[in-house]
Structure 1
């Protein structure tokens, strides 16, 4: 289950939500896994919906680039209700690592100092695209319309952002 919403003028957020639902449509209707794995997008994720979802969650994924996000508390609510946290060392995950201990979270990815070093060196998405076959395959499928066969260019802005503007 993935929850979220996008402001009316936030084109990229809307396209990411559309991509999530399009990938979900492929997975949910796949003859091999469609009856065992489902992608569910929770529209207009808000407090009243969170009150229902958080107590039932087993896992909370909280990912953002280290050192870039405000400290939210949604992941704390998930943890207080027994969900395991998988995420980056950012936002409230930093505070959660200090209190219950980092050994009680599943932390991955870069730390703030790693992000700063990469910023100084310069980030080039194409280097990762060229080096990681699974990433290249995923990006190619998005670019080539695998998840939007009726509109093959639908996600070109997402691919362009990830390849040319994402930090």
Structure 2
């Protein structure tokens, strides 16, 4: 029962990024000894974190992402918005990421204006986030699939 509670706790902390981080960690071939040295943590703790038996704090997660050179914006889109963390490594994800970046750049002034307008209206941040996620998902769903075969 304790293991289930611990797993549920870790899930709420880092579930979005965990599969992506572990995949990149393995792809890079970074040893637990090297990661422990770079983080200033014990090898034992790093082994437990990597295997899911210890909490992967947000601060440690950010530092590991830096060490593994994970693009945090790209990771956010894949893991949090699309809920498909390993899409980060998919070549076809490049187009989605590019379109999303362009959309955000073009929409940033409007989004900031929206945030200012609703700041005093008492809207919960969660409600605003749901609207913005819906906008982004609609935009991503409107991107045509990559063409395959010869033109």
Q: TM-score range by the shorter chain?
A: under 0.3
Q: Which has the higher contact order (CA 8 A, sep 6+)?
A: 2
TM-score by length of 2: 0.24
TM-score by length of 1: 0.23
Between structures 1 and 2, the one with greater strand share: 1
* Structure label with greater radius of gyration: 2
